[in-house]
Amino acid sequence: MKRSYPLFLAAIAAVGMSGCARGLAESYTSMGFRNQKVVFIADQADVAVRTTAPSLAKTPYFQDKEDASTILRQVTRDSLVAWGFDCGAHFFPKEGSYSLRMGLMHAADGWNVADPSVVANYARANGTDYLVLINRVEVSRSEIRGASGNAMLGADIALDVSVIDARQGVRVARQTSLGHSERTDSLSLLMPQAMGLAVDNFFVSVPEATRWGCKELVNRFK
């Protein structure tokens, strides 16, 4: 699979992150991704970015000169896909783009199902079990105060994600996951660290996460 941002993904893999999972905004009964085929879609995500720290004004969000919204959509998708491979490929993620033929709609509360039969037909035709759609990516970079009172630079990322059971043609969850990082040096790692934690928090919230054989994740969240 083509990796669009190898430096970014390598930075995520190299950084040991810690944190706790955020809960789901909606309840559901069962949604494990184990041994499933999942399509991650981010090209229609709403993106909001904000930088209030003057020292970060000229620092790009990632090591690329494209439009920030385009980068954030692609990096979000690629980092979600890479997570599965890094955990032993117990499920088989595929990159994807939104298509009206999928039977979906962009509702006020995120991506949802417009026509269950169309979604189910898409699932049968493409061998897809779940569609994971990014509703919104919010990024904030600012100056913060550390425990010692010294000024530091911080980055926060919030991911709003819809999970659709494609075979059943129903949305089973809408989830918000958060990531935060802070540094006084290596500012190029601010965003990769925050995105890595946000993605970790998304996956660790999904049932069966500890049964995927991903020792790295289990150790990270002990």
Q: Which residues contact 73 (CB under 8 A, 6 or more apart)?
A: 42, 43, 45, 47, 134, 137
Which domains, and CATH codes, for the chain?
Answer: 22-210 (3.40.50)
Q: pLDDT (tens digit, 9 = 90+) per residue, 130-185?
A: 999 999 999 998 888 766 767 788 899 999 999 999 999 999 888 899 999 888 88
- Greater model confidence, 194 or 186: 194
Q: What crossing angle do the helices spanning 6-14 and 68-86 adopt, rounded to 10°?
A: 50
Maximum distance among all Cα pairs of the chain, rounded to whole angstroms: 58
Q: pLDDT (tens digit, 9 = 90+) per residue, 77-95?
A: 999 988 866 665 567 788 8
This prediction's pTM: 0.79
